[in-house]
């Protein structure tokens, strides 16, 4: 069974007047969709980051052209490097006058049986996906606390933090860590009016995923979805915008599954 993708949802001003920082937003994945939705939902200014300078510049130009928002800026950052994380947050503070919302989208996935996996591959996935989210969250929490005006952090986890899948031990462990990080950091951040939540998508087909998984596996995963298809990146971004908005004002430390998998 395959059901038609729903029509694109227009913006409703959910984050009107807010400033947003999105990591790993170049390309055609969830990060770019989140930046697009942020502009469409009324963000006054946006900073996006990516590890690839050329792709980042192209993404900034595309976002400006497609959304009509002029105040969109790019800053290269490798979330596995602490100095670059600090430089990104400082850039966003200076450029935006303070980032009201951080969307932690950066992550890295590969496919490998655990018995065939070397330490280097395990550590790389963990360092980008879990440690990178921790570094960004830690730096932004410090900045938001010092600023004293509250804020919101939205992390990108995965249903693999709950569910098992072959060849994904490293990625699943990292995403389960993101879930736990979200819960624990949220309790600490609540003391200075910062909310931290996470989305956990099941499957979103984008170029990076197609590179790391076989077509056969992707078709198998899609077949397990109730709608018989993968999510569009913007469908996940919509839930991120809800969590970034005042509509979720009582939610913190939560992991929201963005999935249509069979029970």
- Residue of 231, 257, 260 whose CA lies nearest to 179: 257
SS3 of 7-40: the string is CCCCCCCCCCCCEEEECCCCCCCHHHHHHHHHHH
Tell me the average pLDDT of the chain.
93
Specify if 106 maps to a domain: yes
**pLDDT surpassing 70 at residue 206:** no
Please state the domain count of the chain: 1
Distance CA(5)–CA(124), nearest Å, equals 34
Please give the residue that has the higher pLDDT: either 6 or 154: 154
CATH code for the domain of 44: 3.40.50.720
**pLDDT surpassing 80 at residue 6:** yes
Specify if 1 maps to a domain: no
What is the structure's pLDDT at 3? Answer: 63
User: Looking at residues 214-233, what average pLDDT do you find?
Assistant: 80
What is the structure's pLDDT at 208? Answer: 61
What is the structure's pLDDT at 205? Answer: 74
Specify if 5 maps to a domain: no
- Residue of 169, 151, 148, 147 whose CA lies nearest to 160: 169
What is the structure's pLDDT at 209? Answer: 59
* Helical H segments across 41-151, by residue range: 53-67, 82-96, 119-126, 132-147
Local confidence band at 99 (pLDDT 50, 70, 90 cut-offs): very high
Please give the residue that has the higher pLDDT: either 262 or 88: 88
Determine which of 87-96, 155-164, 213-222, 243-252 has the lowest per-residue pLDDT on average: 213-222
**Tokens matching residue 196:** 């931290």
Distance CA(222)–CA(248), nearest Å, equals 29
DSSP state of 75: E
Kindly list the catalytic residues. 171
What is the structure's pLDDT at 89? Answer: 98
**pLDDT surpassing 90 at residue 228:** no
What is the structure's pLDDT at 223? Answer: 76
**pLDDT surpassing 70 at residue 210:** no
Specify if 219 maps to a domain: no
User: Looking at residues 143-148, what average pLDDT do you find?
Assistant: 98
Q: Collect all residues with Cβ–Cβ distance below 8 Å to 95 and sequence separation of at least 6.
A: 45, 47, 73
Local confidence band at 218 (pLDDT 50, 70, 90 cut-offs): confident
What is the structure's pLDDT at 263? Answer: 45
Specify if 11 maps to a domain: no
What is the structure's pLDDT at 137? Answer: 98
What is the structure's pLDDT at 211? Answer: 58
Specify if 6 maps to a domain: no
DSSP state of 231: B
> What is the span of the domain harbouring residue 239?
19-202+233-258
**pLDDT surpassing 70 at residue 262:** no
Q: What percent of the chain has pLDDT over 90?
A: 83
Specify if 32 maps to a domain: yes
What is the structure's pLDDT at 235? Answer: 95
User: Looking at residues 114-126, what average pLDDT do you find?
Assistant: 98
């Amino acid at each position: 069974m395959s059901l038609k993708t729903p029509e694109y949802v227009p913006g409703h001003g959910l984050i009107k007047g807010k400033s947003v920082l999105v990591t790993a937003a170049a390309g055609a994945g969830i990060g770019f969709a989140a930046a697009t939705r942020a502009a469409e939902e009324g963000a006054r200014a946006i900073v996006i980051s990516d590890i690839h300078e050329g792709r980042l510049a192209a993404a900034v130009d595309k976002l400006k052209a497609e959304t009509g928002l002029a105040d969109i800026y790019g800053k290269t950052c490798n979330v596995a490097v602490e100095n670059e994380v600090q430089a990104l947050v400082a850039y966003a503070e200076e450029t935006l006058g303070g980032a009201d919302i951080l969307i932690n989208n950066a992550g890295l996935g590969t496919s490998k049986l655990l018995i065939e996996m070397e330490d280097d591959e395990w550590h790389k996935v963990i360092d980008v996906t879990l440690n990178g989210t921790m570094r960004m969250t830690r730096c932004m929490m410090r900045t938001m606390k010092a600023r004293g005006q509250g804020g919101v952090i939205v992390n990108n986890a995965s249903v693999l933090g709950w569910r098992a899948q072959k060849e994904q031990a490293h990625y699943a462990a990292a995403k389960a860590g993101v879930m736990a990080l979200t819960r624990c950091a949220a309790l600490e951040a609540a003391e200075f009016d910062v909310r931290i939540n996470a989305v956990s998508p099941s499957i979103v087909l984008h170029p990076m995923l197609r590179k790391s998984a076989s077509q056969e596996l992707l078709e198998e995963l899609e077949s397990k979805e109730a709608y018989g298809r993968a999510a569009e990146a913007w469908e996940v971004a919509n839930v991120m915008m809800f969590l970034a908005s005042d509509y979720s004002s009582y939610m913190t430390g939560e992991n929201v599954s963005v999935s249509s998998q069979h029970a």
